[in-house]
Amino acid sequence: MTDLRMGAGERSGVRLFSVFGIEIRLDVSVAIIFALIVYSLGAGLFPQWHPDWSPAQYWLTAIGAGLMFFASLLAHELSHSLVAQRFGIRVPRITLFLFGGVAEIESEAETPQAEFAIAIAGPLMSLALGVLFATVASLGFDERTLGLLMEDPQAAMAGIGPGITACLWLGSVNFMLALFNMIPGFPLDGGRVFRAIVWRVTGDHLLASRLASTAGRWFGWSLMALGLWNLLAARNLGGLWLIMIGWFLSHLASASYSQLLTQRTLRSLKVRDVMRSRFDTVPASATVEDFIENYLLRSSQLLWPVTDGARVVGLVALADVSDIPLPERGGMRVSEVMADLARAPVLDADALATRALNALLAAGDAPVAVVREGQVVGLVRGSDVLRWVTLHRDLAREV
């Protein structure tokens, strides 16, 4: 179980409710992990602890404990989010999914101190919940059963009720969550704490991120190796789970570092610096047939500025003409099918390239026209910006 924090994520699953201005969502994959937890408690752990319980008692306690487990995860994420909000960073939503929770913290912390505080808040919450559940659980044991716990755990456990049983499990699970998340590899909380410390000591954010990301990749690979060993040598299917989490963590560790490199490479650039300034136009008076045969099919350009004299008045793309039946294309003008420039989605030439990249990638890499003072001066796609970044990586290292 882990928790991750990302930029703009996709909005999957169902919306539960909002709290502190943060939307809480549930991904469908939560059903899988919930079923796994309830099954392992109801059919495994609880019957072992309480051979005398009825099936209804096992399953109801298991469902209750499962729900409280997700409430604990949510508390962990909320705790990151509220600290982030205190540092003025927006958190639009938290999504619970297969591997835990994701709080979408909109931007990176600006100082190592803020990064440290935001990162440590989650594990501290899990630790506090662990102490809380363990304390409540301890109330269920009197002196006699507590003494018995060491000699004959079976007999000691047999006497305690469903509520205390659930608290005992929740206490240990929250302690484990706190511990696991403090492993010093990105993107785990411990990796962020580690990065904040290296950043504070060296003053080098990029170096700190690279070290934390490398540690995260190593940790992910170790989990995968452990999972493989579990699967092959110990013939334990639980190994598959470790392999999945390990792969997921190592993938995110590398992805987050290259995302940071991208942001730093682009930080001082405007859209006009990364756009394609060489493009062709099509006159508004051209027929659709002429446009398709002599422009669209003769070039790799996807979006075409439409000109009326020297002025660009609209934009036309494949999607605007593909549905027009062949016989009608000769009698129809481009001006009739184009999108009006005033109403088409465009980017300002002076907008920040980092902001534009998010919008462009969200648009599925479709090209967007770049305008300055009402005139189209270029075209840009998300992949153009990424290509630009690949060829200018060294800029990230200049401060």
205-232 vs 238-266: helix crossing angle, rounded to 10? 160
Strand pairing category for 368-372 and 375-380: antiparallel
The DSSP call for residue 111 is: S
Q: How far is the CB of 76 from Zn ion (least distance, A)?
A: 5
d(CA 264, CA 247): 26
Of 109 and 379, the one with the shorter C-beta distance to Zn ion is 109
**Candidate segments 19-27, 138-146, 189-197, 357-365, binder of Zn ion by CB under 5 A:** 189-197
Span interacting with Zn ion, options 55-63, 152-160, 168-176, 183-191, rule CB under 5 A = 183-191
- Which residue among the candidates 77, 115, 328, 336 is catalytic per the annotation? 77
User: Is there binding between residue 27 and Zn ion (CB under 5 A)?
Assistant: no
187: preceding bond cis by omega (within 30 degrees): yes
384 is an interface residue for Zn ion by CB under 5 A: no
Site map (CB under 5 A) of Zn ion, residues 117-146, x = contact: -----x------------------------
Size of the chain, expressed as the number of residues it contains: 399
Q: Name the closest residue to Zn ion (Cβ).
A: 122
The least CB distance from residue 66 to Zn ion, in Å, is: 20
- Rounded to whole angstroms, the Cα distance separating 245 from 252 reads 11
Q: Does 3 bind Zn ion (CB under 5 A)?
A: yes
The span of 24-32, 188-196, 211-219, 254-262 binding Zn ion (CB under 5 A) equals: 188-196
Token reading at 226: 């452990």
Stretch that binds Zn ion, among 3-11, 84-92, 261-269, 301-309 (CB under 5 A): 3-11
Residue nearer to Zn ion on the CB measure, 99 or 257: 99
Number of neighbours of residue 150 by Cβ within 10 angstroms: 8
**Under 8 Å between Cβ of 288 and 321:** yes
- β-pair partners for 285: none
| x/- map, 83-122, Zn ion, by CB under 5 A | ---------------------------------------x
Cβ-based nearer residue to Zn ion, 79 or 265: 79
What is the nearest approach in angstroms of Zn ion to the Cβ of residue 307? 53
**What's the rounded Cα separation, in Å, for the pair 176 and 242?**
15
Q: Which two tokens stand for residue 244?
A: 């999945």
Taking CB under 5 A as the criterion, the residue among 189, 301, 368, 381 binding Zn ion is 189
Active site residue 77: yes
All residues at 6 or more sequence positions from 392 whose CB lies less than 8 Å from its CB, including other chains: 265
Q: Which is nearer to Zn ion, 3 or 27 (CB)?
A: 3
105 CB-side CA count, 13 A: 26
Residues 194, 212 contacting (CB under 8 angstroms): yes
Interface residue list for Zn ion (CB under 5 A): 3, 122, 189
Annotated catalytic sites, by residue?
Answer: 77
